[in-house]
Amino acid sequence: MQQLDIESIRRDFPILDREIYNRPLVYLDNAATSQTPRCVVDAIDRMYCHTKANVHRGVHTLSQEATDLQEAARERVRAFINAASTQEIIFTRGTTEAINLVASSMGDLLENGDEIILTAMEHHANIVPWQLLRRRKRILIRVVPVDATGQLDMEAYRSLFNERTRLVSVCHVSNVLGTVNPVKEMIAYAHSLEVPVVVDGAQAISHLKVDVRDLDADFYAFSSHKMYGPSGVGVLYGKKYWLDMIPPYQGGGEMISHVSFEHTTWAELPFKFEAGTPDFVGIAAFRTAIDYMESIGIERIAAHEHDLLEYTTSRMMEIPGMRIFGTAPGKAAVISFLLGNEHHYDTGLLLDKLGIAVRTGHHCAQPLMHALGVEGTVRASFAVYNTREEADRFIDALRRVAAMLGL
Ligand SMILES: *Cc1c(COP(=O)(O)O)cnc(C)c1O
């Protein structure tokens, strides 16, 4: 595999020229959002300056062009995840809205006493929507535990199924531990018992090749802003079988075929699930972000991030008092850690003063923090534009913080 020209890639990202407290920014908060290349910003600019019109409604040229851009983006997403049809690609505001859609609409098929399976490493976006459903229907939520390395207990997973199990929802990659869950195996097992599976792909989509048909996922959710695209756009992939079966999530324009006060019929897929005016500018620019990622190649991005992960982790282990959470083999490029007993927030603040952007806190995964026995962690996460030199600056900064703390 050809080495990446990281310096040339870095020039595509204007924000990387920023300085923080007179030091060059080292951006290691990519699991929260990744930065956006110039070509994506240009696509947004171009749309606002040349092609802005509402989609699917107008006969006029601009509306046609805007519609074509949106539908070209849908086809781009379809090909990117190898879905069977663009009817299975629903644009949402993000992963959170995508999972809320499934919980609400699939939830309609559930009955009191039915059970669903989640895992202990879920993001709040894959916990709270199901709890909202639990207020509508008295469902039981069962939780797969996580072991000390940050991997799911697969035996426990299989033992949680019974005749009332109706659904599984699991993250492909943990945003805290970096663990890549064996979702293909989990889906195969659930399907052997005729249980559909929802996959939260927010952390997987920019780090590994996702093929929804190979995984045989029933639903797969992700966000553009974590894959070098604009904010405010996400995708719910759903098998046509289920999307035909479940009711719409929101009502409004776009999602109907015919409306009268007596009876309203739904539009064809995927529009049945796209009420109101979508973020058509963001969606058009999202296509450019996918083109950008593919021009580099997801395998090469993953290999580069993996190199940074290995290098940084091994150097971090030499720092006194370092505690790393999540050591599963083959994990994604996310490092959660604590320095001694120092509060995550203080470590993050000191790192910021040294120009290094990391995330601190519970990372929207409070149940996982509880399982780890901590209140929060510091999290460094990598993207394609990070370098070994930045990793060195991060390590030097950590050493300074550790020294300040007398570790
Ligand atoms: C970021 C993230 C989400 C939520 O994504 P939004 O873009 O905020 O909707 C859900 N799950 C995981 C694993 C995430 O990392």
Q: What is the pLDDT of residues 28-42, one digit of tens each?
A: 999 999 999 999 999
Strand-strand pairing, 165-171 and 115-119: parallel
104 in a structural domain: yes
Statement to judge: residues 238 and 112 lie in one domain: yes
> Which residue of 96, 102, 334 sits with most ligand 1 atoms within 8 Å of its CB, as the best mutation to test the pocket?
96
What's the pLDDT tens digit per position in 91-111? 999 999 999 999 999 999 999
Residue 81 lies in a domain: yes
* Cβ of 223 less than 6 Å from ligand 1: yes
Domain boundary among 269, 294, 319: 294
Question: Does 156 lie in the same domain as 17?
Answer: no
Q: Specify whether 149 is located in the same domain as 251.
A: yes
Domain of residue 321, residue span? 6-30+298-404
Cα distance between residue 361 and residue 379, in whole Å: 8
195-215 b/e (C-beta count within 10 Å ≥ 16 → b)? bbbbbbbbbbbbbbebebeeb
Domain assignment present for residue 1? The answer is no
Tell me which residue has tokens 């889906």.
Answer: 187
Residue 326 and residue 244 share a domain: no
> The domain that contains 398 carries what CATH number?
3.90.1150.10
Of 259, 294, 329, the one marking the end of a domain is 294
Instruction: With residue 358 as reference, give the H or E element that holds it.
Output: none
Which CATH number is 162's domain given? 3.40.640.10
- pLDDT value of residue 58: 81
| Contact call for residues 183 and 170 (beta carbons, < 8 A) | yes
Q: How far is CA 285 from each of CA 46, 60, 136, 166, 254, rounded to the nearest angstrom?
A: 9, 22, 37, 37, 21
pTM to 2 decimal places: 0.98
Tell me the per-residue pLDDT of 226-257, one tens digit each, with 9 for 90 and over.
999 999 999 999 999 999 999 999 999 889 89
- Best residue among 95, 101, 130, 336 to mutate for probing ligand 1's pocket (most ligand atoms within 8 Å of CB) is 95
Residues 20 and 56 both lie in one domain: no
In a shared domain, residues 398 and 280: no
Number of domains in the chain: 2
Known active-site residue 39: no
Question: How many whole angstroms separate alpha carbon 139 and alpha carbon 23?
Answer: 52
